[in-house]
Structures are given as C-alpha cells and as structure tokens.
Structure 1
C-alpha cells in the first residue's frame, strides 16, 4: 500500500550513500544505516496499529501505551522518557500558523499586540529513538520535517575547490574530545555529513527547532526596544499598555516553555552519559562523543534562549518602572512650579485685600501717588520672591536625559 507523501514519509539513511525516500513502510530491519519514519499526528493516530506492527518487525519492540498517548497529546509540554528499548523526547516548536492541533501560549481572544506576538504559538514534536529506527510525530503544518527531509534527499552541489589546508604551525588535537569539537565546527563534514544514527538525526532536528526560537528573539527585541523608546519619551503619551501587558505575559510563558525544553534535554544528556558504545572501535567511540557534543550544543542553544527571554522580561519591567518614575518626577516638577507661583502671588493678594477693605481711613488710599506705591511694593515683592525661588531651583525644570 503506497502512503500519502505528506502524511507519512519514510527515509533510509546509510553511511557513504545518499539518503533515499521509500514509497512504503519497510518490513525488515536495514542491513546498513537506519530508517526515519516521519508522520503527522493525525496520520500517527490513524495508522497506529500498522506503525506498531512495523516497529515490532524492525526493532522487536512496540511503543508503550503511555508514550502513544503522549505523542498524540497536542498539549504536552517538552519532556524526556525512556524504556529499555528506546528513548522518547518531546520538544515544543514554534507553529507557523494557528493550526487546530496547536496549543497557543495564550487564548486567541486575549492575545494582542504586534504580529510577532500573535505568531508565538507552539505545538509538540515527538521523537521515539530506537537503535535502527527514528519515529517522529509532527503537527500537520510542521516545516521542520519537510525542510530537513529536503536537505537529506537533495544531493550536495559538486565542487572542484580543494578543501583548505590546515596551517602548518597548528597543533593537531591532543584529545578525542578536541577532535570531535573540531569536526563539528570546521572541516568538510560540518554541514554535509549525513546523521550517523537515529539519535544524531533527532538532535539535529531539535537544534533546528531551538534555532527558530533564537530567530524569534530578534523580532521581539526590536518590538520591545521600540516600546521602550516610547515609554522613556517625556512628552509622549503611551497608549499600547494592553499590547505591552500581553508581551510581558507571552515572555513569561515562553520562559516556561524553554525551561521545559532545557529540563528535557538535560535528562537526555544525563542518560546519554550512561550509554556504552556499540563496540570498542574508534569509530563507535567517536560516534558516541559526537552525540554528547551535539547534545551539549543543543542544551547551550536552549540556555541562550532562556537567558535572552529573561533579559527581555527584566528589561521590559525595568522600562515600565522607569516610565512611571519619569512621570512621577514630571508631576513633581509641575506641582513644585505651581506651588512656587502660588507663593509668589499670595503676598500680592494680601496687599490687594488690605487696600480693598471697607474702611474710611487707610494709609495711602487718599494720596495722589498711593496707587504707585502699592504697585511698586507688589512688584518688588513678586520679583524678590521669584528670584529667591529661582535661586533655590524651585522654578527650574528637572533635566531630561
């Protein structure tokens, strides 16, 4: 029976050969390499009995019922679990759109703000790692599966340029760990080498999922920087409080999601340290070292996302506090100026009130120059008080940075 390509995709990866996509589910274990069975969550639910039979034929083991329910759960947080025959890792990825199976960070009705915030929706991707089979369960709109599948089956571009030679004065790696790190970060195998095992392929896809979070943080940073600039403008009336509160809530929930990712990968790394190589050959030892290095690299990427999200949370909170502090200082300046002006005019009102009393005999009232004496005294009092308050900086504005 031929399967729908978009529902279930099967790949055969073997060392030294191009990855090959199979039209049907295999019935026998591979002689070399391993199989990658990638299916959508709906196809996994529909074809579950058949997939369980294929896993039994290929590995001698089926998925336990609890893990099946985990892979079918669209609300499941990132976590790691294992049995004696396989390991299971669930990682939440960023959704490209609001699919029905996706679990948004917040209800759609309450989610507001700029488009970058409305795009932050996540859905789980599950991996079951056997010795010669990788089963991955994706959402229906998962671009990670299709992008990595296209990378596997696309032949590398031919090149005639020889690889660069190492400097003659550079010392060779002194330990196997240094050799593994150099091979991962430099050299011809950095981006073209096929995954050597199901665990290696899983880690590469997890790393791609985490990198999507790293790309998202740039857009979040630009949006929050724009809001911070508006908040710190002394003459700007900020009106995007609903969007800002949504952003703070989204950042908090994104922090929780990344913490779940980190806990899951840390559990995977802890179990990986207990693994023994399939043989005592240098190739087997090197493959295990590659898995450990790649796992630590994925963990480091997750920690970078967590660190950046927390820094954005703290920066947003600090900017809000600075905004209210600046508004409070501005209000204090206004009240201080009004108080000083009131104090200047109080003696003038007193003088005017005295000369406005209904008495028959008041000094200066019946004199020809009495008005000018009163006006002069009022002017002198006002000027004197103004100079006094100016010297005391009661009328000076607080400097704005």
Structure 2
C-alpha cells in the first residue's frame, strides 16, 4: 500500500494512513488487491474516521473481483470506476518508463485466484490479457485497487515524485468539485511523511477525479502501444499470406490473434461505456460557485472526453485490424486457388498435347497384319516425325493462347 498527499506545492508520500484529512489538497491511497482484502477492516475504519463514510459492500466486492469488466457506478457520496488495464508477464509499465523496484516486488506478491491466465503464442498476444483496476473517488480522497503485477501506480507515482515545477511557485489547488456535497474534517497531518517533491512541467492533479483520469489515460496509452505492435505483427503475417510460393504455417497464431482482437474489441467497448457513463455523471454535478471551481470542472470534462477519444481510436483501429486480417485470409485462399487453377490448366494443356500422340501410338499398336507404314523401312521415322510435329504445333498453339504461360 502506498499513500500520497497531493497539494498545490508538491506531492508527499506518507508512510501510514493519515489520522485526519489534510487542510489542503487530497489523499491518494493506492494498494494491491490482496493488500486491500487483508486490510479491508482497517481501510474502512480509516475512511469512516477521515470522511465519515465507508465503501458499500457491493462496491467492495467489485474492487476485489479480478474478472470484473469495465463499468461505472456511483452513490450519493462517491463514484466508483472499474477500468481494465493491459497485463504483461513483467507488469504493464509503459515503454518510456522503466520498472521500479516496487513494481518488481509487487510481482512476487500472491494475487487473487481469479488472476487471468497468460496466453500462449507470440509475445504481443500475451499483452491482450487484462486485469481490472478499481477507483473509488471521494471529495478529498482517491482509493485505487490494483493487481499485484500492476506498475501503473508506481509509474505514475514516480512521475509525481521525480519532477520539479517550472516556475518554482506553488499553484493554487481549488477544492474538489463533487456532485454530492458533504462535510469534510480539516486538520493537521498527524502521520509520518516520506519523500516529497513537486511535479515538473505539468499541473498537479487538482482533485481525486483529475488524478483518476490521468491514471486511466496512462492505461489507455498502453493499448495504443499494443495497437502499434499488433499492426506490425499482422502486417508481417499478411505479407507471408500473400506470397504465392510460401507455405503459411502460423494458422494457430493467426487464429489466436483474431480471437485476441475480438476480445480486445469487447474490452474497449466496456471501457468506452464506463467512461461515457462517467461523462454523463459529470453533467449532473452541481455547478461550482467560484471561477476556479468552474474551471476545474470544465477541465475534468475535457480530460474525460480526451480519454474517451483515445478509447474510440483503439476501438476503431482494432476493428480495422480485424477486417484487414479477415481480408488477408480471404486473399490468401484466393491466391492459393489461382495457383491451383494455373497448375490444373498447365496439366490439362500437357494432357491435350499427348492425347494425339497416344492416339497415333494406339493405332500403330493394333493387332492387324496390314497397317500403312508398318512394313516399310522408314515407317518408324514417319510416325515419329508426325508425332513431334503435332506435339510442337499444339505447344505453340497453347503458348499463343497463354494456356502454358505463368500468371503473375
């Protein structure tokens, strides 16, 4: 479990759960699914002490379920978003972010028995396996539940802790906007604090909802990276399929790729529905009274629409890959059919060449005493000459009609 205090002047990683809500900013509690299950009573009690409410039992079950599809739900006090992220054997760190020691340590932690089984086949197909990440969004607190091998938390936490603001000044953090206003207890932080550092070159998350959208956007970027790898893999297979003299043998891998693309399409559709429900819920939030709060709400809507647009890009590309894969398979069988037709045409032409020769040989092989040319000294050569002439004439005729020409 990792706890962060995010405020206008920087980010602080805390060593324990806070006893009181901070006077400024908000708290991010990020834990793995097994840790959330083992410390559920402690987390529920601390939520009750901090914000005066607890998670609903059904939402707790959703956060503990490792097979739940992406969806959105809400109560009058908080919102719940479950979003499926890409899973790999080494975690799901983005290509530009090196894995952290905490991510490697998390891999060794036992996960839920419902953990998805890794797929076989090319390495790119194994990244289709996904696991859900749960977000419980309160007014001043964000609770996230990750799989044990999920490095999204550590990757984004490293970005928060490693940067320095460009102007060196603190930015003003407006209060978190919520569709359900409820009282929060403000007080000093009475807990141990670890490393802290402001973020560089970018605005700090101003609310738990803003932080949730940034983490979700990082997950969607993983799908965009996978899209490029799938495109390269399928382009290679299409090239192999369309080679006329090559024998394509990766039918199992191609079938797995098509099944994985179909599964990815379903996952992205669930993600799009969940984010769309979240956007619809944003429209029902009460309008803030201050310009800063109104701007924050507008930025949340813009960021939400940006995440939705990224998901729609992935869905569009996946559907296009499915269509191109199906087209490549059909073209492969068309090429093979044309190749078979060429072979049969050539064999038919050669058979037609030898049919007159067989007829001449059959006539002179008849068991008659008087046959022309049989008793003559040059009869054999006349028969052979006639057969060669007929064969050459037929070959030239078929070549002129392109019955013996190779189809390019």
TM-score scaled by length of structure 2: 0.84
**Alignment pair present for 1:28 and 2:23:** no
- What is the distance in 2 between the residues matched to 1:144 and 1:102? 21
SS at match of 2:368: coil
For 1:396 and 1:232, how far apart are their aligned partners in 2? 21
Tell me the alpha carbon deviations over residues 264-305 of structure 1, each in whole angstroms, 9 at most, x when there is no partner.
10110111112123x322111110110000000000111111
2:4 to 5, 11, 18: 11
Contact 1:95 1:142 in 2 (8 A): yes
Q: For residue 159 of structure 1, report the CA deviation from its aligned partner.
A: 7.7
CA shift, 1:388, in A, is 2.0
**Unaligned stretches of 5+ in structure 2?**
91-106, 169-198
Displacement after TM superposition at 1:393 (Å): 1.6
Q: Aligned partners of 1:73 and 1:191: how far apart in 2?
A: 37
Tell me the residue number matched to 2:156. 148
Q: Write the distance in 1 (CA, Å) between the matches of 2:279 and 2:154.
A: 26
Q: Would the alpha carbon gap of residues 293 and 154 (structure 1) be closer, same or farther in structure 2, given more than 3 Å must change?
A: same
Match of 1:212 in 2: 222
Q: Which runs of 5+ in 1 are unaligned?
A: 1-7, 161-188
Deviations 1:151-206 (A, max 9, x none): 2222417689xxxxxxxxxxxxxxxxxxxxxxxxxxxx995210011000000000
Aligned residue pairs, count: 359
CA distance in 2, matches of 1:355, 1:153: 99
Which residue number corresponds to residue 38 of structure 1?
Answer: 30
Separation in 2 of the partners of 1:398 and 1:273? 62
Mapping of residues 244-255 of structure 1, within 5 Å? 244-255=254-265
Select which of 43, 55, 59 maps to 2:47: 55
How far does the alpha carbon of each residue in 1:73-131 deviate from its partner, in whole angstroms, 9 at most, with x for none?
011111100011100000111123286448677x54xx332112123321110000011
Alignment-derived partner of residue 191 in structure 2: none
1:134-159 deviation digits (Å, cap 9, x = unpaired): 11011112211011111222241768
Matches for 1:164-183 after TM superposition, within 5 Å: none
Is the CA contact (8 Å cut-off) linking 1:104 and 1:121 kept in structure 2? Answer: no
Return the structure number with greater relative CO, CA threshold 8 A, min gap 6. 2
The answer to whether 1:360 aligns with 2:369 is: yes
Taking the aligned partners of 1:236 and 1:390, their CA distance within structure 2 comes to: 27
Q: Kindly indicate whether the alpha-carbon contact (under 8 Å) linking 1:101 and 1:123 is maintained by their aligned counterparts in 2.
A: no
Residues 284-343 of structure 1 deviation map (CA, whole Å, 9 limit, x = unaligned):
111011000000000011111111111111111111111111011101100010001001
The question of 1:194 aligning with 2:193 is answered no
Rounded Cα–Cα distance in structure 2 between residues aligned with 1:245 and 1:101: 29
Q: Is the partner of 2:19 in helix, strand or coil? A: coil
Q: Give the 5 Å matches for 1:217-228.
A: 217-228=227-238
Query: Which residue in the other structure is 2:123 paired with?
Result: 115
* Corresponding position of 1:378: 387
Q: Distance in 2 between matches of 1:196 and 1:343?
A: 84
Contact 2:67 2:115 (C-alpha < 8 Å) held by counterparts: no
Aligned CA distance change for structure 1 residues 191 and 87 (closer, same or farther; 3 Å): farther
Whole-Å Cα distance in 1 between the matches of residues 383 and 200 of structure 2?
92
Deviating runs (4+, > 3 A) in structure 1? 98-105, 157-160
What is residue 313 of structure 2 aligned with on the other side?
304
CA distance in 1 between counterparts of 2:278 and 2:285 reads: 11
Aligned pairs for 1:311-350 (under 5 A) are 311-350=320-359
Contact 2:136 2:144 in 1 (8 A): yes
In 2, the alpha carbon distance for the partners of 1:289 and 1:124 equals 27
Aligned partner of residue 237 in structure 1, secondary structure: coil
The verdict on how the C-alpha distance between 1:262 and 1:384 changes in structure 2, with shifts beyond 3 A counting, is same
| In 2: Cα distance, 1:234 partner to 1:103 partner | 45
> Could you tell me how far apart the structure 2 residues matched to 1:114 and 1:78 are?
26
Could you tell me which residue of structure 2 aligns to residue 236 of structure 1? 246
Q: What SS is found at the alignment partner of 2:405? A: coil
Mapped partners of 1:148, 1:190: distance in 2? 13
Residues 56-95 of structure 1: pairs in structure 2 closer than 5 A: 56-95=48-87
Gap change, CA 1:273 and 1:45, over 3 Å in 2: same
**In structure 2, how many angstroms separate the alpha carbons of the residues matched to 1:209 and 1:68?**
22
Q: 1:117, 1:200 → 2: CA distance?
A: 32
